[in-house]
Amino acid sequence: MFMNAIIGKYFRKLSLAAAVWLIGLSAMPVLALAQNSPQSNGGGFYTVQLKSAADFSSLLNDARNIHHVLFSNQSPEFKNIYTFDSNESLAQLKTLWQGQFNYLEPEMRTQSAGIVVNDPGFSTNPLDIDKEWGLLKAGFDQAWQKTTGSQNNIVAVIDTGIDETHQDLKTINFVPGFNFVSQQSILPGTNSDDNGHGTLVTGVLGATANNGLGIVGTNWQITVMPVKALDNSGQGDAATLAQAIIWAADHGAQFINLSVGGVGFGHDTTLANAISYAFNKNVLIVSAAGNDLNVTGQSLDQDPVFPICDDNNYNMVIGVAATDQNDQKADFSNYGHNCIDVSAPGKRILSTINIDPTTKKPSPNSYAYASGTSLAVPFVVGQAALIRALYPTATNIQIRDRIISTADSIDSNNSTQCGGSSCSGLLGSGRIDVPASLQTAITQKFGEGSLVKAQDLGVVYDIIGGQKRMVSPFVFNQRFSDQTVIISTSEQIASYPEGAYLTPLDGTLVKYDANPTVYIMENGQKLPVTYAVYLEQGMNQKPINTLSYAELSSWPTGSFLPPTDGTLVRGQSEPTVYWVIGQQLHPINYGFYIERGLNIFPLMIVPDSDIQSYPQGESYIR
């Protein structure tokens, strides 16, 4: 009946969300990419005047991001003029379009006086993947015309530590941090990174501008708090991460960069409570979607990843997927309707590093290319810091909502990138658009939690988490029958992206017609209930509510609901006995069983398949 061998302790592991290291420039103390021209990869920005409107089909075939120029003037010399970017070189386009244009020239890009960047890794071409294409794609170059940041903004980078001695990070205003691996303080100006990942993330966020070296970060002025929660292999656990979040919130962090993702464990109450604690202290938390299948990524609606999905059903975490220079989902990036809020550049990102990714040996003042949703997160944190630099009284909710509502939709660029199917609605509201998020002062159209009825549609929405979430008649009657509803129109709430249906109260049993599976609602997720647990917890005395497939499928599915804490469980043909503690099944051996006096309690026998469905915890042995 009992396991015969010691089972190693099971940790709820968190790991780095930068899975692919493309190039390590560890042998080069100074970046050697300054000589690459904007069109060194065969692409660039161009202006063309087509001979006739009929030639537009060629433009559609070979160009991206097509824009009119002087389109309001009908004089012949200004007709059929377009600006565009393309992956083709100027010479290739002239050959392809021979006889179809009056002129075809590189577009002369301008910037306002005073915005000068001399860092050799910086590029004016968002297709130049050998340089910092991500800054241009997200529009940071335009945003800097309004603000380059503020040292009043404190970002906690919870990661593997940071090498504050790196030549391209020295102008960051570092404040004291904490190392939860060694349980020691991190003093400003020291190197706490024995992996390289935290230094990589920090370079994207705030590498020194205009020092003639390396790269430039999203913010030219910023304060960073190093918090080490991952060891030299990039591994950690949920409890330590929760400690790190609470510590950062208590020590003045306004933003938390979580370029981590944990696979293989369910909803963690301690971590969720830490996120709620920080969020309620006005801290903005941004986390990575994770890179769980190197070929296609995975759906977080089917297999949630944490901490990105541990947002307590109030969108307390901005979840970020990764995209490439063509606004396509990076092949490795996870995706999903429920946990992803926006997307950001995350493929072949150039940044600072202090550890050779191949040899794992120290490599001071180095740079590397890396890919992963880890790299997408600091672009969003950088955007958030610029918003607060320009609008210093903005709350975390207002900044979150502004980031989500101003993103550029990229669904049309991703027709097959999500498991072979369309990514429509699975990459958040789109790729971040930083200048758009800075255009107007921040005001709140509807308060958080407002119930708004779109009169022209007859639909009630709850404005929550930066989204409008449809409220079904069942949920409305269960939760809001006595509350005031604001009458509006669909046009007035159009700026809020559509979220999942609002969920019923915790403990509600739900199903839909075509499927016999019964679910119980808990923390914004639907947990499947096995028949044994259904009877064991007396659910046969409660009503089961049949809802529409659209409503039920919009909610993430969690782990199977385990038996009640304290229950002893065994499979029908399996000898191992499990003790249910903390909503997890912990395998126990005979010595532990006798020592704890568990032999006086009955065993719950369940189908073998049920055992594998329940959340598993560490073994308890004597």
Two tokens at 372? Answer: 């992963």
Exactly one of 15, 374, 450, 559 is catalytic; which is it? 374
The predicted pLDDT at position 32 comes to: 28
The SS3 call for residue 297 is coil
3.40.640.10, 3.30.1360.120, 3.40.50.720, 3.40.50.200: which CATH number matches 133-437? 3.40.50.200
Tell me if the domain spanning 44-106 has CATH number 3.30.2310: no
- Position 23 pLDDT exceeds 60: no
| pLDDT band, very low/low/confident/very high, at 313 (cuts 50, 70, 90) | confident
In this prediction, residues 210-237 reach a mean pLDDT of 95
Exactly one of 119, 128, 159, 462 is catalytic; which is it? 159
| pLDDT band, very low/low/confident/very high, at 40 (cuts 50, 70, 90) | very low
The predicted pLDDT at position 5 comes to: 26
Q: Tell me the pLDDT of the chain averaged across its residues.
A: 85
| pLDDT band, very low/low/confident/very high, at 270 (cuts 50, 70, 90) | confident
Higher pLDDT, 391 or 557: 391
Closest CA to 559 of 582, 587, 584: 584
- Position 379 pLDDT exceeds 50: yes
The predicted pLDDT at position 616 comes to: 86
Rounded Cα distance, 124 and 109, in Å: 8
183, 283 Cβ separation under 8 angstroms: no
In this prediction, residues 531-545 reach a mean pLDDT of 92
| pLDDT band, very low/low/confident/very high, at 80 (cuts 50, 70, 90) | confident
The predicted model scores a pTM of 0.72
- Position 61 pLDDT exceeds 50: yes
Helix axes 373-390, 396-405, angle to 10 degrees: 120
| pLDDT band, very low/low/confident/very high, at 470 (cuts 50, 70, 90) | very high
The predicted pLDDT at position 13 comes to: 47
Rg from Cα positions in the chain: 26
Closest CA to 301 of 526, 472, 609, 463: 526
- Position 494 pLDDT exceeds 70: yes
464, 341 Cβ separation under 8 angstroms: no
In this prediction, residues 557-583 reach a mean pLDDT of 90
The predicted pLDDT at position 267 comes to: 59
Residue 565 is a catalytic residue: no
Q: Which CATH fold would you assign to the domain 446-502?
A: TTHA1013/TTHA0281-like (3.30.2390)
> Based on the number of CB atoms within 10 Å of its own CB, is 529 exposed (0-12), middle (13-18) or buried (19 or more)?
buried
Residue 197 is a catalytic residue: yes
- Position 396 pLDDT exceeds 70: yes
Question: What residue spans define the domains of the chain?
Answer: 44-106, 133-437, 446-502, 509-553, 568-613
- Position 14 pLDDT exceeds 70: no
pLDDT in tens, 112-162: 344 678 899 998 889 999 999 999 999 999 999 999 999 999 999 999 999
The predicted pLDDT at position 113 comes to: 42
In this prediction, residues 532-545 reach a mean pLDDT of 92
56, 412 Cβ separation under 8 angstroms: no
Exactly one of 166, 197, 337, 586 is catalytic; which is it? 197
Residue 374 is a catalytic residue: yes
